[in-house]
Structure 1
Amino acid sequence: MEEVSQGTTTPLLPNSNHPRRWYHHFTNPLRLKTALSSELSGSVGDLGTYIPIVLALTLVSHLDLSTTLIFTALYNISTGLLFSIPMPVQPMKSIASVALSDSLTLPQIATGGICTAVTLLFLGSTGLMSVLYRYIPLPVVRGVQLSQGLNFAFSAVKYIRYDQDFAANKSGGPRSWLGLDGLILAISCLCFLVLSTGSGELGSSTPHPTHLEETVSSSDRFRRRRLKLLSAIPAALIVFLVGLFLCFVRDPSIVKDLKFGPSKFHVLTITWDDWKTGFIKAAIPQIPLSILNSVIAVCKLSGDMFPDREASVAKVSVSVGIMNLVGCWFGAMPVCHGAGGLAGQYRFGARSGASVVFLGLGKLVLGLVFGNSFVRILGEFPIGILGVLLLFAGIELAMASRDMNSKEESFVMLVCGAVSMTGSSAALGFGCGIVLFLLLKLREIDCSKFVIWNSSLQSTKDSLDI
């Protein structure tokens, strides 16, 4: 494809609408379009789900934290460069939930991740995932996103209101108002994030300057400058660093327990019983959730947030497959690309792949420098602050369903979301949503065409009898 301008010929990439787009693609693969502070703030937007699950698996299932940090760091850096959007790397939540409730061993957790990875790799490489993405109704996808977002929000409220015991996978008594992990701290962080980030749209609340600057009142100019200044604050990063600082204040002995250097990599020994248990207990409930939330929902969400950079379902599916086929053999936590993580990172300012690259570099440093001893720091992190970060991520994901304009679409979405939440299964809600959508379409079928076709057939039959 070529574009001729003033006697010159400039080669273009397919679907390119600018003569220099190919140059910017290769010189700026991360598509960095916002301030560095916004990308840094957005990079910690999904830690509200990452830290609790990693901490729980480390304490209960003896997950190697150093290995998980290093591998997820490499995943973050790779996906940031590959997708050019803040594509998250999150734990496979269904596998983590089963591992904690049924006390699965590390090889069994790994086999669950490997079996899920093989399935997604097959669907992505054969094109079947693209077929599913093309024909699944949007209201059903929105229902899954709504249920996942509200589940995150409900969990976040529990984190804020009640003490948490991740090792026992249960909530404790009401959280005290005072203290270094009290309600006042969590509410203060919540208010700070609302004041600095607003609704989450960078600059959306700031009126655009007109060419007649004299017509703009001084109060409008002051408001514009104030909102611009607030949106430039890396709010989520500041909140996370405050929580990290409070870890050492809450327990100064952490410093003595830190040991430098990563743990040694080793390939897991997996038995046939591990394969059977991991597939039945971990992979079977995880596969539908990964297909719906980690591939289809996250691609739909990426199209909403980045219309010019919508992620390919085939690429996302293959990415999840390759990540886990590599890392799970070494005992790394099974991971996926979650819609909740993308919503959280976008909510706090991430607009390019740079945010997840920064997050990956941070994880890599922590994994190489502190290794498994970093679990002592995570164990003292204020859970109320994690709840605040998770709350914003959940609400942002749930708000993706606001584009359901007709009553029919909203009906399908709400039923799908309700079933997904009450049944604790995205697959069950998805199935109910599909059936409901088909029933509504069947109800609207124009039967007059069938009557005309039947009458014509009868006339032809009568003429043949004559």
Structure 2
Amino acid sequence: MALSTEPRDGRSLTVTSGELTGALGDSVTVLPVVVALGALTSASLPHVLLLFGAFQVVWGVVYGLPLSVEPMKALAGLAIAGTISYAELAAAGLLAGAALLVAGRTGALARLERYVGEPVVRGVQLAVALLLARAGFDLGVADPALALAAACLVTVVAVAGHRRAAALVVLGAGGVLALAATGVPTPTLPALRPFPAGLPRLSTGAVEGAAAQLAMTVGNAAVATSLLCSDLFDADVAADDLASSMGATCLVAVPLGGLPMCHGSGGLAGKYAFGARTGGANLVLGALYVGAALAVGLVAAFPMAVLGVLLLLVAVQLVLSARETGMPLLTLVVGVVGLLWNVGAAFVLGLAAWLVLTRGSY
């Protein structure tokens, strides 16, 4: 299946004030996760940001839509929580990328979706949210006064009617504190070389993480995003095309030091809500990410307590998504098992339970 590069359905590339604010809307959940990975793992943040910028531009041009390019949150959450190492994250990203590319090219995604129930996907989201919340709490208690101040700032911004912007405001405040501690960093471009943060390590945890991520990606980043493209932009974007582009992104980005990335429906909705209507938002955001890659020295000085509050905000967003389930008890069980045991086992057990409960209905 060839991925068309010709704009259709009225797709276009324009740069307006709406595209600028829409670009910021997509960064609400992306930047906290990326900053956390740079601070808590061996990920090379300059490479991560540079590749985020590059693929924002690539898929904005290819699709002519403000398509989201964001971290694969299940894998990112596991790495942030310390459940898997960065080397295992890289291996899982390559596994997930290969699976998505094969599924997309063979048109298999629509068939696979029937066998992965939404309650199980929501349970994986809940498990990742709980792991992120625990990691955020652990970071916050190290400096409770600063964490409380950041939480108060979130509350003030939310009460003022800007709930979605709260994460950006807190991220900016943390950046100001880091700037005060380090001064203005010297802009430097990272050297592009294979696996700058270390070679991938294939393990049971990497395989389980890839399986859990694929469960989320099929529903949230492929099928749901395809539907949103139709609903919001009247654009015909097949889920299998999205799977192909996500697979290609992972297989190119991870060896160059980037993160496993996907087209999240939440990021697309965020861009639209903030005014984006074309792929021009991706051009803007790509430039912003490249600029951030040049000033990445601030990350080392970013206050960990503020980062903990940001992780809690990301966790809350995932919990809100997890609530949209047809089987709340199954979703809850998968989430709790993922927290107390591991996400891979929770996914397998949840999938088995869902297949038994819905036997013959798919």
Unaligned runs of 5+ in 2: 1-6, 339-345
- TM superposition shift of 1:308: 1.8
Shift of 1:125: 0.4
1:216-266 deviation per Cα after TM superposition (whole angstroms, max 9, x unaligned):
xxxxxxxxxxxxxxxxxxx83x9736742553246513225x121112111
Contact 2:147 / 2:308 at 8 angstroms: preserved in 1?
Answer: no
Say if 2:108 is the partner of 1:128. yes
> Displacement, 1:341?
2.8
Note the 1:4-403 alignment, pairs <5 A. Answer: 25=10, 29-30=12-13, 36-100=16-80, 106-133=86-113, 135=114, 140-141=117-118, 143=119, 147=123, 165=139, 172=141, 175-176=144-145, 181-194=149-162, 236=165, 240=168, 243-244=171-172, 247-249=175-177, 252-256=180-184, 258-268=185-195, 274-276=201-203, 279-280=206-207, 282-303=209-230, 305-306=231-232, 308-309=234-235, 311-367=237-293, 369-370=294-295, 372-376=296-300, 378-379=302-303, 382-383=306-307, 386=310, 390=314, 393-394=317-318, 397=321, 401=324
Tell me if the contact between 1:39 and 1:350 (Cα under 8 Å) persists in the aligned partners.
yes
The answer for the alignment partner of 2:358 in structure 1 is 437
Give 1:59's aligned amino acid: A
Q: Retained in 1: the 8 A contact 2:23–2:282?
A: yes
Q: Give 1:316 deviation, angstroms.
A: 0.9
Structure 1 residues 110-153: Cα deviation after superposition (integer angstroms, max 9, x where no partner): 222111111111111011113234x469xx43x46755776787
C-alpha separation in 1, matches of 2:147 and 2:302: 21
Native 8 Å contact 2:182 2:298 kept in 1: no
Structure 1 residues 99, 244: CA separation in 2 closer, same or farther (over 3 Å shift)?
Answer: closer
Q: 1:152 to 1:278 in 2, by over 3 A?
A: closer
Task: Compute the TM-score of the two structures, normalised by the length of structure 2.
Answer: 0.75
How many residue pairs get aligned? The number is: 349
How far apart are residue 329 of structure 1 and its match? 0.9
Assess if the C-alpha contact under 8 Å between 1:113 and 1:283 holds in 2: yes
Contact 2:60 2:279 in 1 (8 A): yes
Q: Paired residue for 1:448? A: none
Q: Distance in 1 between matches of 2:349 and 2:270?
A: 25
Partner residue in 2 for 1:422? 336
CA 1:94 to 1:175, structure 2 compared with 1: closer, same or farther past 3 Å?
same
Deviation at 1:191, TM superposition (A): 1.6
- Is the Cα contact below 8 Å between 2:22 and 2:275 reproduced in 1? yes
Alpha carbon RMSD of aligned pairs, Å?
A: 4.2
Give the conservation status (yes or no) of the 8 Å contact 1:418–1:429. Answer: no
Shift of 1:73: 0.8
Relative to the length of structure 1, the TM-score reads 0.61
Distance 1:434 1:255 in 2: 56
Unmatched 5+ stretches in structure 1: 1-20, 166-170, 198-234, 402-409, 443-466
Residue 88 of structure 1 and its aligned partner are, at CA, apart by: 1.8
Q: Please give the per-residue CA displacement for 1:394-449, whole angstroms capped at 9, x wherever unaligned.
A: 487468x4xxxxxxxx7x4434533443333456545544443346x59xxxxxxx
Q: Deviations over 1:65-118 (max 9, x none)?
A: 111111111111222233344322222233334434557554443222111111
CA 1:310–1:288 in structure 2 vs 1: closer, same or farther (change >3 Å)? same
Query: Structure 1 residues 355, 315: closer, same or farther in 2, change over 3 A?
Result: same
Q: 1:38 to 1:361 in 2, by over 3 A?
A: same
Over the matched positions of the two proteins, sequence identity in percent amounts to 22
Amino acid corresponding to residue 182 of structure 1 in structure 2: A
Distance in 2 between the 1:294 and 1:105 partners? 24
Distance 1:242 1:249 in 2: 11
DSSP-derived class of the 1:358 partner: helix
